[in-house]
């Protein structure tokens, strides 16, 4: 072919077949963020397919499957295709032809999910089999392991010796506490039977050991003991409780804290530091007596608040347990806020994982923060009739016990 012939061929009009380009999709310069074509593999074998911009999505699974397979993907046996999202995109466009008769149409962006046709538990029989197989599973026999250190906490709260109320006076108080001490021995036998016998015991005196005369005027006319008699009764009851623990455990710790009824007062006003408290004084007297007989009580130790403090903290088998009376805040709902403040103030119970309190004469337990526990002990007294008349609430007496290990607490009961 001559040079003139080549020139003529280049300048000749194109044929109809050459002029008509194949059907094309001309999107915007880039796909919108999050709509880039591709496949994302999901847990369980599912695939989320983001398809390139195209015409309106099909209306059934047959069309969805065809659209996915056009992308070169293979739908496995036992899987289905489902349209999960479709968006009309006027920013991209589709042109059917060139020239004056060309038709321009906006396109759609779609996502399809290739997923198992049905989960393994879709049928009733499959679900029944799942439950049956799990319930038939039996735990492997446990290899006997060395028992961890385990402490028993006995919370002796609010006996208020000398107080007369709906449940009687001193005679009824002594009988009630003696019955609880008997139940404590039953509780220890129960723990031994289930393999959770404690190897140490903590006597936690949560305060208000005596009723006193100085808190309110009515106390002068609602007691059946004098002040010295109240202290004597409390001392003997505490000695009896500690003696039972001392004969049952190789290690016993007795702790107490400051309180409001036992505080030395002149009228309603406290006299002296927080440790000027009859409950703390009685514990000091018992400690002196035990020190005289080391052969019988040398394994019993005592913990009392430091000067100018009214709370204590104890290491019970690797768990920090704090003891406070609870009169430091106006109502039970404020316990958590008060405890938080003690933490900021670096007070004795700041690092306690468990805080034990009394004062409000009813049982309450609440989890706080990251694994901390507040336990409010029930009372041992003869009843708070003034509170029952005001609120309608009646407290039930009881001796609170629970066990503590390095992993936390268990076996909480009210005896």
Is residue 119 a contact partner of residue 79, using CB atoms and an 8 Å limit?
A: no
Residues 160, 63: one domain? no
Tell me, yes or no, whether 165 lies in a domain.
Answer: yes
140 located within any domain:
no
Segment 91-143, tens digit of pLDDT? 666 555 565 555 666 788 999 999 888 765 556 666 777 788 888 877 777 77
Q: How many CA atoms lie within 13 A of 128 on its CB side?
A: 3
pLDDT band at 411 (very low <50, low <70, confident <90, very high): very high
Whether residue 248 sits in one domain with residue 346: yes
Instruction: Give me the pLDDT at residue 61, please.
Output: 93
Higher pLDDT, 102 or 65: 65
**How large is the greatest C-alpha to C-alpha distance in the chain, in angstroms?**
138
From its phi and psi, is residue 309 left (phi > 0), alpha (psi between -120 and 50) or beta?
A: beta
Does some domain include residue 287?
yes
Lowest mean pLDDT among 190-194, 351-355, 368-372: 368-372
Which CA distances in Å does 285 have to 236, 240, 277, 357?
11, 14, 12, 23
Residue 157 within a domain = yes
Structural domains in the chain (count): 2
pTM here is 0.69
- Same domain, yes or no: 188 and 231: yes
> Are residue 173 and residue 111 in the same domain, yes or no?
no
Q: How far apart are alpha carbons 16 and 363 in whole angstroms?
A: 94
Domain residues for 209?
151-414
pLDDT of residue 14: 52
Q: Are 255 and 202 in contact (CB under 8 A)?
A: yes
Query: DSSP assignment of 30-94, as one string?
Result: SPPTT--SEEEEPGGG-EEEEPPSBSSPPSSHHHHHHHHHTTT--PPTTEEEEEEEEEEEEEEEE
Last residue of a domain, one of 69, 97, 116: 116
Q: What are the pLDDT digits (tens) for 200-252?
A: 999 999 999 999 987 777 777 789 999 999 999 999 999 999 999 999 999 99
Q: Please indicate, yes or no, if residue 354 is contained in any of the structural domains.
A: yes
Q: Which of 72, 95, 116 is the last residue of a domain?
A: 116
Domain presence at residue 223 = yes
In a domain, residue 129? The reply is no
170 and 319 together in one domain: yes
> For residue 153, what are the β-bridge partners?
202, 402
Last residue of a domain, one of 116, 139, 168: 116
Does position 1 have pLDDT exceeding 60, yes or no?
A: no
Residue 21 has pLDDT above 70, yes or no: no
- Point out which residues pair with 402 in neighbouring strands: 153
Q: Is the pLDDT of residue 22 over 50?
A: no
3-state SS assignment for residue 131: helix
Q: Which CATH number belongs to the domain containing residue 380 in this structure?
A: 3.60.21.10
pLDDT band at 310 (very low <50, low <70, confident <90, very high): very high
């Amino acid at each position: 072919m001559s040079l003139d012939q080549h020139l003529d061929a280049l300048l000749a009009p194109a044929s109809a077949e050459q002029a008509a380009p194949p059907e094309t999709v001309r999107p915007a310069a880039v796909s919108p963020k999050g709509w880039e074509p591709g496949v994302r593999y999901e847990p369980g074998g599912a695939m989320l397919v983001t398809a390139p911009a195209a015409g309106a999505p099909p209306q059934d699974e047959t069309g969805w499957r065809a659209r996915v397979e056009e992308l070169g993907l293979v739908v496995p046996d036992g899987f289905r295709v489902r349209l999960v999202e479709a968006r009309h995109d006027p920013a991209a466009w589709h042109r059917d032809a060139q020239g004056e008769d060309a038709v321009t149409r906006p396109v759609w962006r779609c996502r399809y999910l290739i997923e198992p046709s049905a989960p393994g538990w879709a049928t009733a029989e499959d679900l029944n089999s799942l439950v049956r197989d799990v319930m038939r599973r039996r735990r492997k026999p446990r290899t006997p392991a060395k028992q961890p250190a385990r402490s028993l906490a006995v919370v002796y709260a609010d006996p208020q010796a000398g107080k007369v109320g709906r449940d009687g006076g001193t005679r009824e108080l002594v009988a009630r506490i003696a019955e609880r001490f008997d139940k404590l021995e039953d509780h220890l036998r129960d723990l031994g039977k289930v393999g959770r016998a404690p190897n140490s015991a903590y006597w936690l005196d949560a305060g208000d050991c005596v009723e006193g005369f100085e808190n309110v005027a009515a106390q002068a006319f609602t007691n059946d003991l004098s002040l010295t008699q109240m202290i004597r009764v409390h001392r003997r009851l505490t000695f009896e409780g500690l003696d039972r623990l001392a004969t049952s455990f190789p290690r016993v710790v007795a702790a107490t804290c400051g309180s409001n009824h036992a505080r030395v007062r002149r009228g309603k006003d406290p006299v002296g530091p927080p440790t000027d408290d009859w409950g703390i004084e009685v514990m000091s007297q018992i400690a002196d007596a035990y020190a005289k007989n080391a052969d019988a009580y040398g394994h019993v130790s005592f913990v009392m608040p430091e000067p100018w403090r009214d709370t204590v903290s104890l290491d019970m088998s690797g768990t920090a347990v704090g003891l406070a009376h609870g009169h430091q805040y106006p109502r039970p709902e404020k316990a958590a806020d008060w405890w938080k403040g003690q933490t900021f103030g670096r007070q004795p119970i700041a690092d306690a994982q468990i805080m034990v309190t009394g004062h409000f004469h009813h049982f309450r337990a609440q989890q706080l923060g990251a694994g901390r526990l507040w336990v409010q002990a029930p009372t041992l007294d003869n009843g708070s009739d003034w509170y029952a008349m005001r609120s309608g609430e009646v407290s039930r007496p009881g001796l609170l016990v629970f066990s503590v290990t390095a992993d936390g607490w268990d076996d909480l009961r009210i005896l």
